[in-house]
Structure 1
Amino acid sequence: MSRRGWVLFLAMSVIWGVPYLLIKVAVEETSPVVVVFVRCVVGAAVLLPLVLARGQVRPALRHWRPLLAFTVLEMTGPWLLLSYAEVTLSSSLTGLLVASVPFVAAVAARLVGGEERLTAVRLAGMGLGVVGIVALLGLDVEGIALLPVLAVVAVVVGYGTAPLIANRALADVPGVAVSAIALVLTAVVYAPFAVPRLGQLGSASVPALGSLVVLGVVCTALALVLFFALIREVGPQRALVITFVNPAVAVLAGVLLLDEPFTLGLAVGLPLVLAGCALATRRNAPATAAVESPVP
């Protein structure tokens, strides 16, 4: 990747390594639908004025079909399902499951005839990343429930396919416009269910409210703008390799900020994750010209 690509990659790895913990904190005191609604409203409040000032809404709406598909697959479905899953699942197990997104993206790209080749080196990097995540987080499966796991599986499918839509059908639409409109649409969808429950915010603690604000401003508004830039810089498949690093960031945050122990799993898993990412994001060598056979 280029230097700009690595900067965006590292920024997204950190920013989207935080939401698992923030969502876990928020859903302990507010319902999942309120978490999604507030996250979308805060994010839209940051981005929409900028989009309106630039006159980008109407041009973006000309691509309403792929825009709607992106919204459903990237936000409307996954964010509610993720919040619902974390009522039961730990943030570490959720992160481990979401780390399978690059594989879904690779399969989806192959099905739609993507130009990006999955070489043996890149596949090995993905496999190494998964091994690292397992070592990093451990098999946190106590009290596991089927429905929350299936909810995360649906999230993985959405996260794995939405960037392909953005890269193919929304390449001419500014990422900030796509993000702002998608946030507004998602907020409108959940408003009838969330507004009657907004009273929960009145009794929520400062950490829960702070988690919602950070989710909206940093992990949504800022993150979506950077994510679109990353997709356009390195392509959708490489961009999604951040899901290998996100759980590692969550674990490191626990060690550095919460005085959690530096475990053997962390010592072994983190280098594997980083090595896997380096291999999985490696650019393909130019294809050599095929030699035509004289046999008809």
Structure 2
Amino acid sequence: MEHIKKPEWLKINIGTNPRYTETKRIVDTHRLHTICSSGRCPNLGECWGKGTATFLIGGNICTRSCKFCNTPTGKPLPLDANEPGQVAESIRLMKLNHAVLTSVDRDDLPDLGAGHWVQTIQAIRQLNPGITLETLIPDFQGKEELIRQVTDTHPDIVSHNLETVRRLTPLVRSVARYDTSLRVIRLIADSGVTAKSGIMVGLGETIAEVEETMDDLLANGCQILTIGQYLQPTRKHYPVAAYITPEQFDSYKETALQKGFRLVESGPLVRSSYYAEKQIRQF
């Protein structure tokens, strides 16, 4: 596919400020992984500058090899028993009122990492009473008992990203299935927790396919939707098919709200945890 030049609206000035420096110091000192860094998030400078970060637990090596994702893939290291406490302490030092957790896929573990999720959430709450939490979970292979382990800790929001439209799912996701992800969303919603999901555009989808994806998410209880531009991490990853205009992102937001989503973040630089600390105040 022919390389497409990145438009002006996607050029970012990361910059630094004292809060960014302190956030980076805390993350580095505790040897933590963040999806901000491993996912090469374009909003890293903005979020770290505000003292917010999305913590990546379970290590930084994923057992899957999705063609859109920059997280290393391979055989993960054993789980770090100290990680839950380190994440909890970092959140305390950052003085966060709201924290976002995500993880790599750990298909190598008997419980696919669900127990580690529970331990981390419990450690965070013990050290940070009153904190609100969003958990961006993997699909846990669609296993209800494992998803329930996380939802039973009652995070304020539980998110699972559908990533793309049905037709493109086999091309860009290595193991995950479209219907499995919809099942995860349904299980989250049925647990009584606010369900959230995110998709990327610019992979070659049509407007009609995006709207069909919105309908599928709504039908399975999703209340919050994020829509952002896919950015190719390296030349080895899936190529960008199109850069979607800010006007089209605005149109997607209007359509999604009309269809019934309670909250929608839609824009070229939007990522799944973008403005998460603001979203929690609206629920």
Give the TM-score band, short-chain normalised.
under 0.3
Higher strand share: 2
TM-score relative to the length of structure 2: 0.20
Higher helix share: 1
Between 1 and 2, higher relative CO (CA 8 Å, sep ≥ 6) is seen in 1
| Higher gyration radius (CA) | 1
